[in-house]
A and B are shown apart, each in its own frame.
Chain A
Amino acid sequence: MSQNLEKIKSPLDMEPLTIEIHEVEAASRSNTARNDLILMAVFSAVVLASPWVLAPFGAAYPDLLQRFCIFGIFAIGFNIMFGLTGYLSFGHAAFLGIGSYAAVWSFKLLTMNAIPALFFGVVCAGLFSALIGYVCLRRAGIYFSILTLAFAQMSYNLAYSVLTPITNGETGLQLTLGDARMVDAAFGVERTSSLPITNLFGIKMSGYEGFYLCAIILIISFYISIRIFRSPFGMMLRGIKTNQNRMSYTGINTRPYLLAAFVVSGMYAGLAGSLMAVTDPLAGAERMQWTASGEVVLMTILGGAGTLLGPVLGAGVIKYFENIFSSFNKGILHSAFEFLPDGVADFMVTITHPFVGEGWHLTLGVLFMFIVIFLPGGLMEGAQRIGNLFTGGGKSNADSRSGQTQPAE
C-alpha cells in the first residue's frame, strides 16, 4: 500500500498508471453492457422457446407455462425490493390480489381487452403499495416484515368479508353475462349467450396465445429489472442493503429510495396479478393470503436473492414442483423404478412415495433446506460454482462477486 502511494506520488509514474486504469475501467464497463445484452438475448430466446425447451420435462402445456411467466414476473419484482435493499416484505401477495381484482373489474366494466386490465392492475397495485410502503417503511428489519404481513392479512380479510360488494367475498370475483362492459358496448361488440373471453385486440388470451402475452411481458419485466440493477438508483438500493447508516451520513435520504423500490416491486406484483386475471378471468381473496406472500419469498431465496436471473429460476422450480411432483403417484413411481429388481423397486417406491403427490411440499422443504445451508446464494450460486469448475475456478472471488451476483444475506 505504501508502494502504491509512492507510485502515485512520483510524477513520472502517474501518467501511465492513470491512463491504463481508466482504460481498463472503460473496457470493463462496456463488457458489462455486452454481457447484459447476451443475457437478455439468451433469456428471451429460452422464454419464447419454452414450449419446446420444457417439453422433455413434461411441463410444456400452456397453463403451466403461463404460471411460470406470471410467477417469474412476481419474483423479479419482489427481488427489486428484497434482493436490492434487503427489506423482506411478507405482504406482496396483497398487491398480487389487488392487481387481479382491478383487472377483473376492468373486464366487467370496460372491455374484455387485456391492455386496460393490465394498466389498471399495475396502477391500483402501485397506489396501494405507496400507501402501505409509506407506513411500513417507518421501521426496518423484522418489524418491517411484520408490518407488511399485518397489512396483507388485513387486505385478505377485507377482501374476504368486509369488502364483499367489491370482491364478492368467498366466491371470488367473476364475470357475469349481465356485466356492463361499456367500452365493448360502445364499439358494438356483440353480446354472446356464453361468458365472453379475454382478448388482445381480437386474439383470445387463453392457451398458447395467453402464454405468449405473458412471455413477452416477462421479457420486458426482465429488461426493466436489468436497467434498474445497472442504474444509479439500483446502486443506492444496494448501498442501503449494505450499510444504511453510511448512506445517511453520505447525504442520501434513504426513505424515498426505499419507497420507490417498494412501489416498483408492488407494481410488478400488480402486473403479475392482472396477468393471472387475463389468462383466467377470476379473482379470489386466497390470492392475498400469507402463504402466497411466503411463496414468492421462497422463490427469490431459492433462485438467489439479488441476482438478475435467480428469482425467475426459483419461480420456475417451485411451480414445476407444485405441478409436476404433485401429480406423481405410486403407478408412475413403479414404472420409474421398473429397471430395478422387484424387491428393491418396491423398497424405493415406499421410500420415495411420501415425497411426491400430496407430499411434494416435503421435497420442496428438503431442497430448500439444502440450498439455504449449502448455497446461501441460491441456485445462481450453484450455477456459478459449476461454471467456475469449468473455467478453471482460479478467477478471483471478489471479481465475480462485484457484478450482478451478490449472494443473499
Chain B
Amino acid sequence: MAILEVSGVNKRFGGLKALTDVNLSVKESSVHAIIGPNGAGKSTLLNCLIGKLEPDSGVVNFNGTSLLGGITPHEINQLGVCRVFQTPEVFGDMSLLENVMIPSFAKHDGNFRFNGWGSIAKRGEVSEEALSMLEEVGLADQRNVITDSLSRGDKRRLELAMCLIQHPKLLLLDEPTAGMSRADTNNTIDLLKKIGERGITKIIIEHDMHVVFSLAERISVLAQGTVIVEGEPEAIKGDPRVIEAYLGGELG
C-alpha cells in the first residue's frame, strides 16, 4: 500500500519550472531514494511535502490526508512526517539533550500546551526517552554539550535522533551523509538499516551511490524537474537515460 502519493505536481519560480508533472508513489515501510543531478528539483520536491512550499498544482496525499491547501508544517509533522535537512536544522545554542527533548515534548504534548508551571525535571519519561535516543545514535556522551560545537556529521545524526524520537511514519532524509567521512557514512547506513526494522517509511535524497544502493528498495531519478525513470536499483544502474541525465545530453 502506498503511504505517500504524489501526482501531477508542478512548481514554478518565476520563469523557472522547478517541478513538472512529478509523480511519486512510496510504499509503506519501504526505502525510496530520489537521485538526480544538482538543480533537478529534489529538495524542492521535499519542500512541497513538508509544507515549506505550496505546489502550483497537483496532489500530495499522505496516509489519505492531503498535505496541500493551507496545512501548516507543524500539522504535517504531527501527522507523522519528519525531515532531516541538507544543512542541519538544530537548536544551536541548546544542549544535545534539550535538542532531542523538544521533539519528544511535541510528541507527548501535541503542537501546543501551556504548561509554564510544570517542571521539566518532573517529566522523567521525556528525558529518559531523549537519553536513550542519544545513546542509540551514539551521542549520549555529549548530551550536555552545546550543539553549535558539533561537527556537521554529528549535527546530522542529532537531527536524525530528533526525528526518530517522534516515531514518524515517514522520514525524509535530505543528503543524510553529505560531508561525512567514509567511516561515519557507514555508521549512518547501519543506523538507517537498524531503524528500517521499525517499519518507518523513508525517502532519501543522496548523491553518494554507495549509500543509495545499500539502502534503497526503489529509486526515482529526477532531472530538470521531472521523473525520468523509476524502478528497482538494479534496473536503474544500467538505464541509459540515467547515465545521460548525469553526464549531460549533448555528450550522448
Q: Which of A's residues lie within 8 Å of B, judged by CB? A: 1-2, 4-5, 7-8, 17-18, 21-22, 25, 28-30, 32-33, 227-228, 230-236, 238-239, 242-243, 245-254, 256-257, 260, 264, 398-399, 401-402, 406
Q: A8-B136, A253-B74, A399-B144 are in contact. Are A2 and B105 (CB under 8 A)?
A: no
Give the chain A neighbours of B146 by CB distance below 8 A: 398, 401-402
**Chain B, range 113-163, C-beta contacts under 8 Å to A:** 113-121, 123, 126-128, 131-132, 135-136, 138-141, 143-146, 149, 153-154, 162
Report the Cα distance A103→B18, complex, angstroms. 59
Is the CB–CB distance between A246 and B90 below 8 Å?
A: yes
The interface residues of chain A, by DSSP majority, are classed as: helix
Q: A21-B131, A231-B120 are in contact. Are A243 and B73 (CB under 8 A)?
A: no
Report the Cα distance A17→B138, complex, angstroms. 12
Given A248-B72, A402-B98, 5 further pairs, Cβ under 8 A: A2-B184, A8-B140, A235-B105, A238-B94, A251-B111
CB < 8 Å neighbour of A398 from B72, B77, B138, B149: B149
CB < 8 Å neighbour of A257 from B112, B141, B149, B153: B112
Closest partner residue, chain A, to B102 (CB atom): A239
Is the CB–CB distance between A251 and B78 below 8 Å?
A: yes
Is the CB–CB distance between B116 and A260 below 8 Å?
A: yes
Give the chain B neighbours of A17 by CB distance below 8 A: 135, 140
Give the chain B neighbours of A227 by CB distance below 8 A: 116-117, 119
Q: List 29 A-B contacts (CB under 8 A).
A: A2-B184, A4-B140, A5-B187, A8-B138, A25-B131, A25-B143, A30-B121, A228-B117, A231-B115, A231-B120, A232-B120, A232-B123, A235-B102, A235-B105, A238-B91, A238-B98, A243-B90, A249-B50, A249-B77, A250-B102, A250-B106, A252-B106, A253-B111, A256-B114, A260-B116, A264-B116, A402-B144, A402-B146, A406-B93
**Chain B, range 186-233, C-beta contacts under 8 Å to A:** 187, 190
Cβ of B107 within 8 Å of any chain A Cβ, yes or no, is yes
> Which 9 pairs across A and B sit closest by C-beta, in order of nearness?
A251-B77, A4-B138, A253-B111, A251-B106, A5-B138, A248-B73, A233-B116, A242-B91, A402-B95
CB distance from B149 to the nearest CB of A (A): 6
Give the chain A neighbours of B136 by CB distance below 8 A: 8
Give the chain A neighbours of B30 by CB distance below 8 A: none
Is the CB–CB distance between A256 and B77 below 8 Å?
A: no
CB distance from B176 to the nearest CB of A (A): 15
Cβ of B82 within 8 Å of any chain A Cβ, yes or no, is yes
Cβ of B173 within 8 Å of any chain A Cβ, yes or no, is no
Give the chain A neighbours of B21 by CB distance below 8 A: none
Give the chain A neighbours of B143 by CB distance below 8 A: 21, 25
Report the Cα distance A245→B131, complex, angstroms. 24
Cβ of B92 within 8 Å of any chain A Cβ, yes or no, is yes
CB < 8 Å neighbour of A247 from B102, B126, B144: B102
CB distance from B128 to the nearest CB of A (A): 7
Give the chain B neighbours of A28 by CB distance below 8 A: 144
Is the CB–CB distance between B116 and A231 below 8 Å?
A: yes
Is the CB–CB distance between B72 and A235 below 8 Å?
A: no
Closest partner residue, chain B, to A243 (CB atom): B91
Closest partner residue, chain B, to A3 (CB atom): B138
Give the chain B neighbours of A22 by CB distance below 8 A: 128, 131
Cβ of B166 within 8 Å of any chain A Cβ, yes or no, is yes
Is the CB–CB distance between B119 and A251 below 8 Å?
A: no
Give the chain A neighbours of B183 by CB distance below 8 A: 2
Cβ of B164 within 8 Å of any chain A Cβ, yes or no, is no
**Chain B, range 28-76, C-beta contacts under 8 Å to A:** 50, 72-74
Q: A253-B74, A402-B146 are in contact. Are A239 and B94 (CB under 8 A)?
A: yes
CB distance from B37 to the nearest CB of A (A): 26
Give the chain A neighbours of B126 by CB distance below 8 A: 232
Report the Cα distance A22→B129, complex, angstroms. 11
Report the Cα distance A174→B78, complex, angstroms. 53
Cβ of B19 within 8 Å of any chain A Cβ, yes or no, is no
Give the chain A neighbours of B72 by CB distance below 8 A: 248, 253
Cβ of B244 within 8 Å of any chain A Cβ, yes or no, is no
**Chain B, range 86-104, C-beta contacts under 8 Å to A:** 89-95, 97-98, 101-103
Is the CB–CB distance between A21 and B135 below 8 Å?
A: yes
Report the Cα distance A402→B98, complex, angstroms. 9
Report the Cα distance A292→B95, complex, angstroms. 35
CB < 8 Å neighbour of B120 from A230, A252, A256: A230
